Amino acid sequence: MGKIEQRVSVSLKSRSYDIVIKPGLIDELGVRLQSLASTERVGIVTDRHVARHYLSAVVSQCKQAGLHPVSIVLPPGEKNKTLATVEKILDVLARERFERKSLLMALGGGVVGDMTGFAAAIYQRGIPFVQVPTTLVAQVDSSVGGKTGVDHRLGKNLIGAFHQPKAVWIDTKFLGTLPKREWIAGLAEVIKYGIIADKRFFVYLERTMPAILKLEPRAVMQIVKRSCEIKAQVVAADEQESDRRRILNYGHTIGHALEALGGYQSLIHGEAVGIGLVLEADLARHQGYCNSKTVDRIRSVVRAAGLSDRLTSPSLEKVWSAMQHDKKVSQGKVVGVWPNAIGRVRIVPIERGTFAEWFKTVSVGGSGRSRYTAKRGQ
Ligand SMILES: NC(=O)c1ccc[n+]([C@@H]2O[C@H](COP(=O)([O-])OP(=O)(O)OC[C@H]3O[C@@H](n4cnc5c(N)ncnc54)[C@H](O)[C@@H]3O)[C@@H](O)[C@H]2O)c1
Ligand SMILES: O=C(O)C(=O)C[C@@H](O)[C@H](O)[C@H](O)COP(=O)(O)O
Ligand SMILES: [Zn+2]
């Protein structure tokens, strides 16, 4: 199997697994699956958009490797990340007599990955699955670390389970067909890693953004690999988010609230996180945790990526109330992740009064979408 693959290991207490990053890895999927699957039956879960580009190639790979693939094609988009959609996956697994050792493959973005992982976590109390992420968000974040689940009307990812994949296989060539808006959204999670854990990486992003926006292969490989390394380290230190893993949620306290307030339709996840990165940095400054220069640098890199930095809801009550459903809430208190400087964050609760004071100072406006809101394929 070619030479240019990169590997990142996720070392957990119970078990480790590898993230393999390689352009063209799709051509090896059959062989890789064969070496991991204990039964011939393999469930390929994907969505309609991804299926159009890649499903037939993956199915024929499986067949060539002597496997018996069963395709499950879901409706795309966050609004379908629901228990009802997971039930559809479970119906197929039961009907097709999937067994405890049957393997599922999540072929898609974070929505497909989170739901496939959740179905794998609960079908027969847990079956194995692999992640084959096809969006930037999924390649740098959602495919790694075992957070799986679905949304609830009141809050993001309120229903779910920790269930680690057996492997993560990343083909950066998938990104070639990704709509630009989705690519830009993924950059929010990439920028997040620089802010929470790696100043050098943040500086790299500041300098290299033009090449990244042009999808230059070296830059793409670098951001995917470094993001996976940082995520793998954090997850290894705290698999089930009892403490340190909460840093991966920087930008999400406000981001998830805005996503839920938009009914999971107006903002896509990365766009909401991009806004959250800037607003939570500004809120950190307001609380005296960092200086304005730090906020300005975060704002500049977010804008350079083409992401919005503007609050999308004028209602303090609505935003604060949506934030109450954050999974970091502890003993009724909203807990935030706040930058001290680039590369360093602290985790501290915030009072409503402090949030309200800051909220008055923030200008509201725009749709919150990235500069690239064109239709798919543009
Ligand atoms: N589990 C975690 O740790 C974690 C981390 C980050 C995000 N998430 C979750 O991930 C979700 C967002 O994921 P996403 O941004 O990947 O969105 P997504 O899964 O909705 O994919 C975005 C769009 O791109 C399409 N698409 C996917 N790959 C494509 C390709 N290669 N070519 C063309 N079209 C393609 C999809 O059909 C979809 O329309 C959110 O639900 C978020 O909560 C989870
Ligand atoms: O892996 C994690 O831990 C994260 O927080 C990564 C986030 O980017 C991701 O959006 C995650 O799904 C959020 O988790 P949640 O527990 O806040 O729903
Ligand atoms: Zn996220």
User: Can you tell me the distance from the alpha carbon of 178 to that of 49, in angstroms, rounded to the nearest whole number?
Assistant: 10
> In 3D, which of 291, 143, 166, 292 has the Cα closest to residue 228?
143
Name the percent of the chain lying above pLDDT 90: 92
Would you say the CB of residue 259 lies under 6 angstroms from ligand 1? no
pLDDT of residue 314: 83
265-269 contacts, C-beta under 8 A, 24 or more apart = 265/78, 265/79, 266/312, 266/367, 266/368, 266/369, 267/312, 267/367, 267/368, 267/369, 268/78, 268/181, 268/182, 268/185, 268/369, 269/78, 269/110, 269/137, 269/185
User: How would residue 4 be classed by pLDDT, with cut points 50, 70 and 90?
Assistant: confident
Task: Out of 78, 81, 140, 147, give the residue to mutate to test ligand 2, the one with the largest number of ligand atoms within 8 Å of its CB.
Answer: 147
CA angle 321, 322, 325 (to 5 degrees): 100
Same fold, 6-177 and 180-359: no
User: Residue 6: how many CA atoms within 13 Å on its side-chain side?
Assistant: 17
* Per-residue pLDDT, 38: 86
* CATH class of residue range 6-177: alpha beta
Residue 307 DSSP SS3: coil
Q: State the average pLDDT over residues 305-320.
A: 94
Confidence at 3, pLDDT banded by 50, 70, 90: low
Range 270-277 average pLDDT: 98
| 194 pocket-lining for ligand 1 (C-beta < 6 Å) | no
Dihedral sign from CA coordinates of 266, 267, 268, 269: negative
Element (H, E) at 376: none
Per-residue pLDDT averaged across 175-193, rounded?
A: 97
Instruction: Give the residue-averaged pLDDT of 275-301.
Output: 98
Q: Is 360 a catalytic residue?
A: no
Q: pLDDT tier at 154 (50, 70, 90 boundaries)? A: confident
* Mean pLDDT along residues 155-180: 97
Q: Where are the domains of the chain?
A: 6-177, 180-359
Counting Cα atoms < 13 Å in the Cβ hemisphere of 364 gives 10
CB 146 within 8 A of CB 75: no
Which residues are CB-neighbours of 269 under 8 A, at least 6 positions away? 78, 110, 137, 185, 255, 259
Q: Are the C-beta atoms of residues 185 and 271 closer than 8 Å to each other?
A: yes
User: Which numbered atom of ligand 2 lies nearest the CA of 189?
Assistant: 8
Binding-site sequence positions for NAD(+): 110-114, 134-135, 147, 156, 174-177
Determine the pLDDT at residue 267.
95
pLDDT at 310 > cutoff 60: yes
- pLDDT tens across 80-128, in order? 999 999 999 999 999 999 999 999 999 999 999 999 999 999 999 999 9
Query: CA nearest 144: which of 74, 230, 85, 47?
Result: 230
At residue 47, the 3 state secondary structure works out as strand
Query: pLDDT band at residue 351, thresholds of 50, 70 and 90?
Result: very high
Tell me the helices (H) and strands (E) count for the chain, helix number first.
14, 11
Strand 16-21 with 68-74, pairing: unpaired
ipTM over 0.90: yes
Has this prediction a pTM greater than 0.95?
yes
For residue 95, report the distance from its CA to the centre of ligand 2, in Å: 32
Beta strands in the chain (DSSP E): 6-11, 16-21, 41-47, 68-74, 103-108, 129-133, 147-152, 155-162, 168-170, 334-341, 344-350
Instruction: Give residue 212's pLDDT.
Output: 97
The mean per-residue pLDDT over the stretch 250-273 comes to 95
Average pLDDT over residues 235-246: 97
Mean of the per-residue pLDDT values of the chain:
95
Ligand 1 center from residue 90 Cα (angstroms): 21
> Considering Cα of 342, then 156, then 10, then 143, what sign does the dihedral take?
negative
CATH number for the domain whose boundaries are 180-359: 1.20.1090.10
